[in-house]
Amino acid sequence: MSKRILDFNSQLFRIFGHHVFDYDQVEVHRNNCQQANGIYDIIFCHREGLQDNFEEIKSYTKPTTHLIIDTTVESGNIDILLDAVNHICETEPFKVTLIIDADMNCYLENNKVSFECIYGSELVFFAHTNVFSDSRTFIEPDTYNYIHKFQSLNGSMRENRVLLLLELIKRKLGVGDRNTPISFLFYRNKQEKFSHHDLNKLVKQLESNGRINKEDVQLLLNFELPLNYDYREEEYHNINHKIDHNDLALINIVTENTHGLGIEEDISKYITTFTEKTLKPFLSGQIPIFIGPPNLEKELRKLGFDLFDDLIDYSFESEQDQHARLKLKINELERLLDTDIFEYRKLNNLRFNKNRILVQKLANKGFDIVDEFITNIIYT
């Protein structure tokens, strides 16, 4: 008997686009839930659908429904999601599978769960590089022209990005200094390249939390964007994130969406997630400095990436406070800017190429995880 499948969040193409099977989308039945009630054997949803619209999802289920929650591409604040999934498993009869692009070994060893978990950091690489992804990140084979010393392609405005901006302003790194230019992509949405309202809100929040002082507040609020700040919004708002080989800095300061914990928390149990921002320097042959969650560098080394320890002093990894860690990383950036990083890049070209090849190898492993799972649930 064929299985009736519902794509609740219109996202099946993200990691299942290579597979062809019949399914409905939620718009077909949204205005007539009575007819849709209890007819679906399998429901795919994203974490927002689960956390924000679970009652609607539930209207399409029956006791034997298999609910599959795909969190790839959007894996921040995992603890909140896991609590929601555990609650569903305790209160609902149907089977639940969580697909998550992170290493869940430690969590699953220390927590009893009732859901099936399909996981692995390899899924990050597949979700962000396959041709069907709505967050596809890719390069076109060509010779790179590294024209800046460092850049930070930041995306939306977040706390760690404001703190990075503050450090750059205070140290006069790339801020109006054309000898050390920086591309600092900092937008809110397509309509507004830079939102002073959002900046003011985050600055007040940081001040109230005691993370910045009044002098820092004035530096941020009085900040005027110099001409060498880059707002190529169209390139980074497109469905595909094409890395421009004609305009690349040699150092990429990667500011991830999630970026750390407080001083008192145990980072050894932290579920480390990352996005296409972490993939970009490996694809483009740049030297990365990660302003991201604790253990990010550790996870990348486990996957096999060369983080150029002979060039970068990674002693900042032992610092648990996220804000102190950021300052230590910018200290290291300043030191690197006084070295001949262009010569280093030329002498170590093979190592950069190996990182680029590893991205595709991991993406292939991610595909194998997806392929095995989808074959077992659809065709058996």
- pLDDT tens for residues 169-216? 898 887 544 444 455 555 434 444 566 777 888 899 999 989 899 999
Name the most confidently modeled range: 7-11, 109-113, 278-282: 278-282
Query: Rounded to an integer, what distance in angstroms lies between the CA atom of residue 152 and that of residue 150?
Result: 7
CA-based nearest residue to 243, from 279, 297, 274, 192: 279
- Residue, of 354 and 321, whose pLDDT is higher: 354
- Which has more pLDDT, 227 or 87? 87
Average pLDDT (306-332) is 91
Q: Of 31 and 66, which is predicted with more confidence?
A: 66
Residue 236 CB neighbour total at 10 angstroms: 14
Confidence of residue 262 (pLDDT cuts 50, 70, 90): very low
Residue 332 pLDDT greater than 60, yes or no: yes
Percent of the chain exceeding pLDDT 90 equals 44
What 3-state DSSP class applies to 131? coil
Q: What is the 3-state secondary structure (H, E, C) of 234-281?
A: HHHHCCCEECCCCCEEEEEEEECCCCCCCCCCCHHHCCCCCCHHHHHH
| Partners of residue 153 on adjacent β-strands | 185
Coil vs helix vs strand at 134:
coil
The reported pLDDT for the residue numbered 234 is 41
Contact 256, 290 (CB under 8 A): yes
Q: What's the pLDDT band for 117 if we cut at 50, 70, 90?
A: very high
Tokens for 176, please give them: 């109006």
> Given this model, what pLDDT does residue 75 score?
66
Q: For 102, which DSSP code?
A: S
Q: How many CB atoms lie within 10 A of CB 346?
A: 9
SS3 content of the chain, % helix, strand, coil (to 5): 45, 15, 40
Average pLDDT, the chain: 82
User: What does pTM read for this prediction?
Assistant: 0.88
63-72, 139-148, 281-290: segment of lowest average pLDDT: 139-148
Please give the pLDDT value at position 145.
80
Strand partners, 100: 119
Q: Which two tokens stand for residue 24?
A: 């409905």
**What's the pLDDT score for residue 125?**
96
How sure is the predictor about 232, in pLDDT bands with cuts at 50, 70 and 90? very low
pLDDT of residue 225: 62
- CA–CA separation, 366 and 125 (whole Å): 7
Q: How far apart are CA 357 and CA 355, in angstroms?
A: 5
Q: Which of 64-68, 96-100, 191-195, 322-326 has the lowest mean pLDDT?
A: 191-195
Each residue of 346-379: pLDDT tens digit?
A: 999 999 999 999 999 999 999 999 999 999 888 7
Sequence ranges of the domains in the chain: 5-119, 138-360
pLDDT value of position 141: 66
The dotted CATH code for 138-360 is 3.40.50
146: left (phi over 0), alpha (psi -120 to 50) or beta: beta
Please state which of the ranges 14-28, 71-85, 192-206 shows the lowest mean pLDDT: 192-206
Can you give the pLDDT at residue 368?
97
